[in-house]
Amino acid sequence: MRKLLSLISLLFTLTLAQAQGVVITGFAPSYVGKTINASKVLDYFSQAKGLLATTTVRKDSTFTLVFESPDVQKIILTSGNNEGFILVQPNTEYKIYFPEKDKYTPYKPSGNEVEVAFLELDSTDINYKILGFQRWVDHFIGNNYHLKSRDSLLFAKGLDRFKTSVQKYYATDTNVYLKAHIRFTIAGLDNIPNAAERNRYEKYDFYIRNTPVYYNCEAYMTYIGDFYQKLIPRLSIETNQAVYEGVLHSSPSMIMKALATEYTTSNLQIRELVMIKTLSEAFNTGDFPQTNILTILDSLSQRALIKQHREIAKNLTVKLTQLVSGGKAPDMVLIESGKETKTLHNYSGKHVYIQFMDIESLRTEQELPLMKEIHSKYGNYVHFISIYKASELSELDEKQKKLLEQINWDVYGLPESNPIWKKYNIEAFPQYTLIDAAGYVVASPALAPTPNGQYQTIDETFFYLKKVIERDGEGER
């Protein structure tokens, strides 16, 4: 009977792999009962992610994720505030170990990176090849980086020898992703100042001008992002002015025509991609009208010449307009069985302080006394809301119930499917958002109850807010 069940299980997994493309089976003893998500990077400029699959770690510490992947791509694995990644290639099964955060590494509210380990990995797999190449790069850097300032000529000779060795070793490999990763990792090394360093135009000719655009390759997109960073100050006065006129007229075609006069954007596909990146980069500089930039990006999200650029423009528009200080706060629906359903409208008339928390985290437990303290001081002046991600498959344990019982302001458990997580761009916990009495974003992320690197907390903000409200109230009397 056991053999029959094992055979059925194997056939089921194989069927999923054939139908869906990729199967990740994992071992995560620190995450039993917790959710693990697999997401892809939608584009490397906005860093927007798209959820591919989600699962809950079983009692025996195992989990399975199944999803489609027509190409080699980077997959982000997240659970709570921990995040790791692997590369996947089509029609492949991966066996991995997903670890807890290293206890000696400082906790990061923005997210803790963990190193995913492969339990079995074929030598032909993209992960095996890239891990091997990266070890080679690390070895070269470790042995030669100190020479760049001591003897730049010797460093340049060593870099040339390294490039030649890499080229010979991987000459017969036909994996397109690997080739792109290697080429643009090397291109990054070429940016290290040395005696034989290429100038900007030479780098454009050698690495970019006649090379395909690898949208799914992080090394390529990182190089492009760095190469064209702060492009506008590099432009000639005439081109700079022409770009400015194009923005004032909300005209992508005028900007494209202006950038055509810049040698490093002579490639049409690169030019449109760089235009999108440059506009998003300039959004918060104050040099261009934001409304015009958003109008251009909206136009490009529908009618860009290159299909991939439409998604990038769309993702960047979302990123630029989500929770911008001074912008209208996205509405939300707080709904939980046994509680009154509320929206942002229910909290109008006062500032709103939203705590997005992980009820499984020690950080939440430590911050709760501080949250209770500031609520007791400012609860008459500010609406407090705590929101946590509720599992749709498992019940709260006793410890979590006791923690929630201590909260004497509105607290809601919302499932992964609730749009609030995307609307408020919640990728790590804890995270705070402050909204004013009229429904506009004051800060997101806002200050926390605990001090940041400059020893600032939200208490100071609320202290002055209270003074203003009391002063205005006295004035009305």
pLDDT at 340 over 70: yes
CATH topology for the 333-476 domain: Glutaredoxin (3.40.30)
* CATH 2.60.40.1120 matches 16-121: yes
Q: Give the start-to-end residue ranges of the domains of the chain.
A: 16-121, 145-227, 232-321, 333-476
Mark out the alpha helices in 260-336 (DSSP H runs): 268-282, 290-303, 307-321
Q: What is the pLDDT of residue 451?
A: 86
**pLDDT (tens digit, 9 = 90+) per residue, 100-134?**
987 777 666 556 889 999 998 999 999 999 999 99
What's the burial of 361, exposed, middle or buried (CB within 10 Å: 0-12/13-18/19+)? middle
Q: Is 463 left (phi over 0), alpha (psi -120 to 50) or beta?
A: alpha
383, 470 in Cβ contact below 8 A?
A: no
Residue 29 has pLDDT above 80, yes or no: yes
**pTM of the predicted protein model:** 0.75
- DSSP 8-class letter at 440: B
Query: CB under 8 Å, gap of 24 or more: what pairs does 286-295 form?
Result: 287/232, 288/244, 288/247, 289/247, 289/248, 292/247, 292/248, 292/250, 293/247, 293/320, 294/320, 294/321, 295/250
Q: What is the pLDDT of residue 263?
A: 97
Residue 161 host element (H or E) = helix 152-169
Q: Which residues contact 194 (CB under 8 A, 6 or more apart)?
A: 148, 152, 153, 155, 156, 159
pLDDT digit string, tens, across residues 232-270: 999 999 999 999 999 999 999 999 999 999 999 999 999
What's CA 194's distance to the chain center, in Å? 33
List the beta strands (DSSP E) in 324-392.
333-334, 342-343, 351-357, 382-389
Quick check: 317 pLDDT over 80?
Answer: yes
